[in-house]
Structure 1
Amino acid sequence: MSEQRKTRSSAATPERAEETAATINDQKFSQSNDTTERDQRQGGTLFKILPSGKENAVPGWKLVEILGLKDLRDLTQLVERERRDGSPICASTGAEKGYYLADGPEELEDYLRSLNRRVKNINRTVVHLEDTLSNMTGQQRIGGD
């Protein structure tokens, strides 16, 4: 049995996640260059195991395995919960998809700009599709959700 499979079964609890994260694929997730700062702040499970910096993003499927979660939906719910609690969790959507902690204010600002671009694009799509629906049904669009 591979090391990854052996480790995966022991990662079913958040308490074991940090230890497990440090061993999966020889990557060191549990610690980063800012360990002193991390020790001083309270954070959830992801905050404790995610590396800092976009270049170190961890794929979602790997986090699901490390944390013993059911699926990616559980992971996204955990990410949102920790973001609400103040963790600077970012997501890379490029070629190297994954989650990471912002390495500083500038990296978090970059991520926020990318989210705002996505929101604008989604809003544009909504307007176009509402127009299409209006044309299909002959009804005018009314404001609201």
Structure 2
Amino acid sequence: MFTQEQIQALLNVLPERKEDAINAPELARALGYSSLPNQEELRALIRQAIRENHLIGSDNSGYWLINSLDELEDILDSLERRAKRTCDRRNHLLNAWNEKYPDNLSIKISKDVN
């Protein structure tokens, strides 16, 4: 759990325009976190900030503060596509297991993201 001061530090560093997005390694360094691949602590901070209703967008270029409905909807569409691909991969693994091991079927059911 991060403090409100840590969240505020994140918000202070994030640019207000998508065009000025800051990539994860740079953002991690600016906040004093590890800039090694995955930046797990930074990602946890961002997830908490979003759960606390801060509008943080991201794409391949980096992170920024969402400031328009168009940006928000682009991010929502991107997250939905990613969730669908993850769910599709899950379903393929489930089906492959059940086909390969019909005597040891998983009781999990296929999921779908609409």
TM-score, scaled relative to structure 2: 0.78
Cα deviation 1:85-138 (Å, max 9, x = unaligned): 111111112xxx211111212211110111001101111111111111112222
1:54–1:92 contact (8 Å) kept in structure 2: no
Of the two structures, which has the highest relative contact order with CA contacts closer than 8 Å and spacing of 6 or more?
A: 2
Instruction: Note the aligned Cα RMSD (angstroms).
Output: 2.2
Query: Could you tell me which of 19, 44, 61 is aligned with 2:8?
Result: 44
Letter in 2 for 1:141: S
Distance 2:78 2:57 in 1: 10
Paired position in structure 2 for 1:87: 54
Q: Tell me how far 1:44 sits from its aligned partner.
A: 2.2
Counterparts of 1:1-145 in structure 2, within 5 Å, are 44-71=8-35, 72-93=39-60, 97-138=61-102, 139-143=104-108
2:23–2:62 contact (8 Å) kept in structure 1: yes
Distance 1:92 1:59 in 2: 9
May I ask how many residue pairs the two structures share in their alignment?
102
- Taking only the aligned residue pairs, the percentage that are identical comes to 29
Distance 1:122 1:58 in 2: 26
Q: Tell me how far 1:53 sits from its aligned partner.
A: 2.4
Distance 2:75 2:52 in 1: 18
Structure showing greater radius of gyration is 1
TM-score, scaled relative to structure 1: 0.63
